[in-house]
A = this chain, B = another copy of it.
Amino acid sequence: MELYQRDDIEAAVRLDREALEAVEQAFAALGRGEVVQPPILSMAIEESNGEVDVKTAHIRGAERFAIKVSPGFFDNPKKGLPSLNGLMMVFSAETGLVDAVLFDEGYLTAIRTALAGALAAKYLSREASRRVAVLGAGEQAELQIRALQLVRDIDTVDVWARNRESAEAYAERVRGLGLTVNVHDDVRGACASADIIVTATPAREPILSAQDLPEGVHVTAMGSDSPEKRELDDQVMVRADAFVCDTRPQSESNGELKAFVKAGGREASVPFKVYELGRVIADEQRLRVSDASITVCDLTGTGVQDTAIANFALQRLVK
């Protein structure tokens, strides 16, 4: 059994095409029904404003599967500690023995989340997409841009964040990637010329309205991953020509579909069809029927991404 620490994992795994392909193949396997993926185990530690999630999945026939533990303790920043943390365990799918523990402190989760965003854009956004609006200015808001660069020739980023200072700091960092970055005071302004909109916030009320969507845009909603969070107004779903999520049960419990379903949204916008990203990839579905189509993808994060990135990391680390 091998143990790996964050520094070594960061050195081995970056946002590159091979990592993208590993996650892409995992989604395709999910889409083909080749994955066992139980519901997330989730436990609240209320007295510490914390929660811990456990995700896992097994791709049938694969040599190894991973189990990921993700604690999120939201008072940690007051103590000088990061909110997000965690580790991944990699097991032999033949014997159940532990092959490795990756003490990545959430790094691999950030990476596989960014890569899923890139895959959503690869399969749903216009190929000529150049300009990205980002709502949110955290780590994931930056990783999303870096991952998008793997699939689209991005040249301009328009950022909005609740806190202007954070947006300015974000702009500085992203200019370092060789991009033009504009900071906006309102969502509408940030999105006005976007080819792709990425929402990467912990919002609990919708921040993106249907009126903010320019023609032909693709939207990836990253933020909502728990029952309390949401980023998209119901009308965004109604306006979308195609709505995709990573897994429908998770979108309905933790993602953008939960409020929509509660509000009777499915009936309100007949026929509302929900596509899943794995199927889109496996079947190479072309949901964008024209440059004017509006596509929306809601990502809540799946165990198969964890199994994919952990296996990928282990291969790189063993080398």
Seen from chain A, the residues whose Cβ lies within 8 Å of a Cβ on chain B are: 1, 3, 36, 38-48, 50, 52, 54, 56-58, 60-61, 65, 67, 69, 71-73, 76, 79, 81, 85, 87, 89, 91, 93-98, 101, 103
Partner of A73, one of B43, B79, B95: B95
- In the bound assembly, the distance between CA atoms of A41 and B96 in angstroms comes to 15
Report B-chain residues with C-beta under 8 Å of the C-beta of A81.
95, 97
Which of A39, A52, A65 is most buried by chain B, counting CB atoms within 10 A of its CB?
A: A52
Q: Report yes or no: A93 in contact with B48, Cβ–Cβ below 8 A.
A: yes
The secondary structure that dominates the A interface is: strand
* Distance in Å: Cβ of A64 to nearest Cβ of chain B: 10
Contact call B60/A41, Cβ cutoff below 8 A: no
* 23 contacts across the A-B interface (CB closer than 8 A): A1-B103, A36-B43, A36-B44, A36-B45, A39-B41, A43-B56, A43-B57, A45-B65, A47-B61, A48-B96, A52-B91, A54-B54, A54-B67, A67-B69, A69-B89, A69-B91, A71-B91, A71-B97, A73-B95, A76-B95, A81-B95, A85-B97, A87-B98
Q: Which residues of B contact A47 (CB under 8 A)?
A: 60-61, 93
